[in-house]
Amino acid sequence: MKGSVIFSILLGLILFSSPVIQEPCSNVSMLYGTAYAEQDWKTEFDDICGRTQDAMAYSPEELRKLVERCDKIKPLIEKLGETERKVYLRRLEMCRELFVFTLESKEKK
Amino acid sequence: MNRLLFGVILVIVSAAMVSAQGGVKKKRPLPDEFGRVIINNNSEKAGLAPVVFNHWLHRSKFTCRLCHVDVGFAMKAGTTGIKAADNARGFYCGSCHNGKKSADNVQMFEACSKTAVPADKTRCMRCHSLGKNVTPKYDFAEFTAGLPKGRFGNGIDWEKAEETGVIKPVDYLEGVSIKRKAITAQKDFALSPKLEGMPEIIFSHKKHTLWNGCELCHPEIFVGVKKGTTKYSMVEIFDGKYCGVCHVSVAFPLTDCQRCHTKQVQ
């Protein structure tokens, strides 16, 4: 029993360190990573900019958080293709500006 | 002698008045021309006629917000920088005009296809029509015959048309818009005109948010939330700023004074 556990661990370590296994593995993870990131910016964008209707209802803290989230996805959008980048940067800017504007007006009160 | 002097003074005064107006009197556009935008960022460079875009047709079917926020068209004509490739990739005009989407059960033609051939010339000329003898698919008089009449602009009371359900402007475009809940409109408010005796302006947030949402006007056009933060005059508005961004070119024009100055003088 003990021997088979040690054997399994050793086999796992050998396979993990093998370049044959490691190369495709890292590519796969990179691909998944990219796919996830692409998916991620759109989901995040929809979630942030889908809240502009309620901008006045948010607290200053919530608005600050939304502005931060806008700033966070901007570099991801900047990496997109020419047209997509142009369209979504403008859309992002419009919702970011609205949140900043609402935040400033609330803080002035 | 007196007559001569009077004549000279009259000529000088007239010349001064004309030069004060820049020497050119603006022609009031015809109802079907009101809100027309000519787009020529790249058309002529590509050997095509500039695009003639009619707001009246599009605004009868879609909200301003849908095109100017979700689709991404800038508010100032010519500043979006639309390219044929953008449309072919399914953005801007191509968001709807992709040969697949339909409005009122009519399939929309494809704009700027990647595979366009000379035989597609008729289709190209549906938009690239400035100076061309093109019969539009939608005739203005026929199209607007059943809509409530307005005094200026397109001669249509678009607000009433929407209120009475004659038109139902769509605010959501599959694959482009974000699903969101209905907007909570901010309160209406009164604005005091600078000119004594002018009726107060009653600004309706409800009417405006229905077409525009929030981010179309704030902060790009109106920088202040609190009443009185944004100071502006009729001169600036006539110059196409503030209310004039829309109410000079597309929405009912500024000559329709009573549409805004509605509150009776006390």
Q: Tell me whether residue B165 is in a domain.
A: no
pLDDT at B8 over 60: yes
- Predicted TM-score (pTM) of this structure: 0.81
Cβ of A98 under 8 Å from any chain B Cβ? yes
In a domain, B94, yes or no: yes
Instruction: Report the residue of A51, A52, A80 to disrupt the B interface, i.e. the one with the largest count of B CBs within 10 Å.
Output: A52
List, for residues A6-17, the tens digit of each pLDDT value. 666 655 555 444
The residue with greater pLDDT, B259 or B194, is: B259
Instruction: Tell me which residue in B70, B86, B226 faces A83 most closely, judged by beta carbons.
Output: B86
Q: 3-class DSSP state for residue A40?
A: helix
Asked if residue B59 is part of any domain, the answer here is yes
B38: pLDDT strictly greater than 60: yes
Q: Find tokens 């600004």 and name the residue.
A: B203
User: Which two three-digit tokens encode residue B263?
Assistant: 């509150």
Domain count of chain B?
2
Residue at token pair 């009729």: B234
Report yes or no on B157 lying in a domain.
no
In a mutagenesis test of the A interface, which of B171, B218, B222, B229 is the best target, namely the one with the most A β-carbons within 10 Å? B218
B226 and A105 within 8 Å at the Cβ level: the answer is yes
pLDDT digits (tens, 9 = 90+) for B84-130: 999 999 999 999 999 999 988 889 999 998 777 877 888 999 999 99
A44 CA: distance to closest CA in chain B (Å): 11
Structural domain containing residue B83: 36-144
**Cβ contact A108–B182 (<8 Å):** no
Q: Which amino acid is at B100?
A: K
| pLDDT exceeds cutoff 70 at B255 | yes
Tell me, what's the pLDDT at B265? 67
The pLDDT value given to residue B225: 61
Which residue, among B266, B169, B239, has the nearest Cα to B254 in the 3D structure?
Answer: B239
Residue B118 has what pLDDT?
79
Distance (Å, rounded) from C-alpha B128 to C-alpha B115? 17
Please tell me the distance from the alpha carbon of residue B224 to that of residue B218, in angstroms, as a whole number: 8
Among A81, A91, A101, the residue with its CB nearest the CB of B218 is A101
Q: Of B200, B228, B205, which Cα lies nearest the Cα of B217?
A: B205
Same domain, B127 and B194: no
> In what side-by-side order are the strands of the sheet with B189-191?
B189-191, B200-203, B261-263
Chain A contact set for B69 (CB, 8 A): 91, 94
pLDDT interval class at B212 (50, 70, 90)? very high
In CATH terms, A2-108 corresponds, of 1.10.390, 1.10.1740, 1.20.58, 2.60.40, to 1.20.58
- CB proximity list for B138: less than 8 A, separation 6 or greater: B57
Dihedral sign for Cα atoms in the order A55, B69, B78, B76:
negative
Residue B186 and residue B245 share a domain: yes
Q: Identify whether residues B140 and B53 lie together within a single domain.
A: yes
Domain boundary pick from B91, B123, B144:
B144
Question: Are B139 and B207 found together in one domain?
Answer: no
**How many CA atoms does the CB half-sphere of B77 hold within 13 Å?**
18
Pair B130, B190 in one domain: no
- Do B192 and B254 lie in a common domain? yes
**Do B133 and B45 lie in a common domain?**
yes
Looking at chain A, how many residues does it have? 109
Whole-angstrom Cα distance, residue B155 to residue B144?
Answer: 9
Which one of B173, B225, B227 would you mutate to disrupt binding with A, by most A Cβ within 10 Å of its Cβ?
B225
B135 and B49: one domain? yes
Interface confidence (ipTM) of the complex: 0.84
B25 located within any domain: no
Q: What does DSSP assign to residue A6? A: H
User: What would the 3-class secondary structure string for chain B be?
Assistant: CHHHHHHHHHHHHHHHHHHHCCCCCCCCCCCCCCCEEEECCCCHHHCCCCEEEEHHHHHCCECHHHHHHHHCCCCCCCCCCCCHHHHHCCCHHHHCCCCCCEECCEECCCCCCCCCCHHHHHHHCCCCCCCCCCCCCCCHHHHHCCCCECCCCCCECHHHHHHCCCCCCECCCCCCCCCCCCCCCCCCEEECCCCCCCCEEEECHHHHHHHHCCCCCCCCCCCCCCCCCCCCCHHHHHCCCCCHHHHCCCCCCCCCHHHCEEECCC
pLDDT per residue as tens digits for the range B228-242: 667 788 999 999 999
CATH of the domain at B49: 3.90.10.10
Which of residues B144, B163, B192 is at a domain's end?
A: B144
The pLDDT score that the predictor gives to residue A25 is 35
Q: Based on the domain organization, do B110 and B204 belong to the same domain?
A: no
Residues 6+ apart with CB under 8 A from A108: B226
Of the three residues B144, B172, B190, the one that is the final residue of a domain is B144
